[in-house]
Amino acid sequence: MFFLLSKNFSQSEKSFSLKECAISVALAIGLVTGVPAMESPAHATPANSSIPDVSVLISGPPIKDPGALLRYALPIDNKAIREVQKPLEDITDSLKVAGVRALDSVERNVRQASRALSQGKDLILAGVAESKKAEAQELLDKLAVGLQELLRIVEERDRDAVKPKQKELLQYVGSVEEDMVDGFPYEVPEEYRNMPLLKGRATVDMKVKVKDNPNLQDCVFRIVLDGYNAPVTAGNFLDLVERHFYDGMEIQRADGFVVQTGDPEGPAEGFIDPSTGKIRTIPLEIMVSGDKSPVYGQTLEELGRYKAQTRLPFNAFGTMAMARDEFDNNSASSQVFWLLKESELTPSNANILDGRYAVFGYVTENEDYLADLKVGDVIESIQVVSGLDNLANPSYKIVG
C-alpha cells in the first residue's frame, strides 16, 4: 500500500486516499482530540513521555509565506539581522487589518526595522563571510534607502504600494542572510555521501501546459530547492531535473489536497538508475529546528520527538516534498507532491505530515495556480535558473 505514492491513483480505487490514511495515522498517534493513542513501539517513545495534543504542538502563529520560511531556514545565527527581518515579515500580518488603519501598524514595523538596522549594522556585517562583505554592505545600503522609501509610502497612505516594497526589502535581507553562510555547514552521513547532493540552494522553473482551461494555458512555477536542510532529497530531484526526467510527464494526481507527479511509464514506480538497472531510492531526510544536521531513515514519531519542529514545515501553499511507500521510510525515488491546502488534519505547525515526509523546497512564484492543475496537464520542462553549481556528485554527467 502506498501513501502519497500510488500508481495510477484515483479516488475510486481500493488504496487509501491521503485523507483516509491521514485519519488512520492521526488516530494511531492520538492527534484527534478525545481518541486514546495506540500503544507505541518501545523504541519510539522515551521513558515517561506522552504524545502531546495539537494545542501543545502549536508554538505561536504559523509562518505560511514560502519566502519567509526559506529565510528562517537558513543555517545562520545572527540576532542582529533577524531583528531587522522580523518586523518586515510582520508587515504581512499588519496588512490583514482592513483599510488604511493597517498603515499605522506598518509604520511601527518599518520604524522598528530601521532602528534595528541602524543599531545592528556592524554586528550584521561581522556575521557575513569575508569574501562577501562588500556585497553585503551594498545590500544593507539599499535596504536602508528602501526602508526610508517605504516609510514615505506609508506616510502618503499608499496601501497598495506597501506589499511590493516589503517584498523588495525582504529580498535584500534574504540575500544578506545567504551571504552569512560560509560553505556547507555539516557532513552528510557516509552512506549517502556519494549520492547527488545539493550543498546549498537552487532555483528551478517548472513550465506546465494546462489543458481544458480557457483562463490558463501555460504557467511557470518558480521553485526554490533547499539543500541546506535536505541535501540528499533536493540533490536527487535536481539531478533528475538535469536528466530531463520530468519533461513531458503528466500531472498524475490533483485532488484539491495535493498535486503529484513523478511516476514514470511502465511497471517501475520510480527512476531506474542506468548504472544499476534498479530504482534509485533515497532515505527519509528531516531537519529539526535546533539540530545541526538532518535525521535519516526514521520519522520524528519513531524517534519519540513529538514536540520537535521541522526546519522546513508543511506550512506554505505549494510546499514540495517526496512521496514514498507508506510503510518504507527510505523508498522515495522520483515521485513528488505539492501540498495545496490545510485541513482539519494538517493545520500549519501541527500537522501529521511534518516529520513523516521530506520537504525540500517551496513554490515561491505563481503557487496559487497549483490549485488549477488537473490530472493530464503536462510538465513541458523544468529548467535550472540558479544553483546548479551547488550540486555535488551529479549522476547525470556520468551515466544516462
Considering the domain 190-392 in this protein, what is its CATH number? Answer: 2.40.100.10
Residue type, 50: S
Looking at the chain, which residues constitute the CATH 1.20.120.290 domain(s)?
66-180
* C-alpha to C-alpha distances, 383 to 146, 206, 372, nearest whole angstrom: 32, 7, 21
d(CA 332, CA 271): 10
Mean pLDDT of the chain: 85
User: Given this model, what pLDDT does residue 352 score?
Assistant: 80
d(CA 121, CA 16): 54
- The vertex-243 CA angle with 325 and 181, nearest 5°, equals 80
d(CA 155, CA 130): 38
User: Given this model, what pLDDT does residue 11 score?
Assistant: 38
Looking at the chain, which residues constitute the CATH 2.40.100.10 domain(s)?
190-392
Residue numbers in the chain where pLDDT is lower than 70: 1-60, 342-351, 398-400
d(CA 288, CA 291): 5
Considering the domain 66-180 in this protein, what is its CATH number? Answer: 1.20.120.290
User: Given this model, what pLDDT does residue 362 score?
Assistant: 98
The string of pLDDT tens digits covering residues 275-328 is: 999 999 999 999 999 999 999 999 999 999 998 999 999 999 999 999 999 999
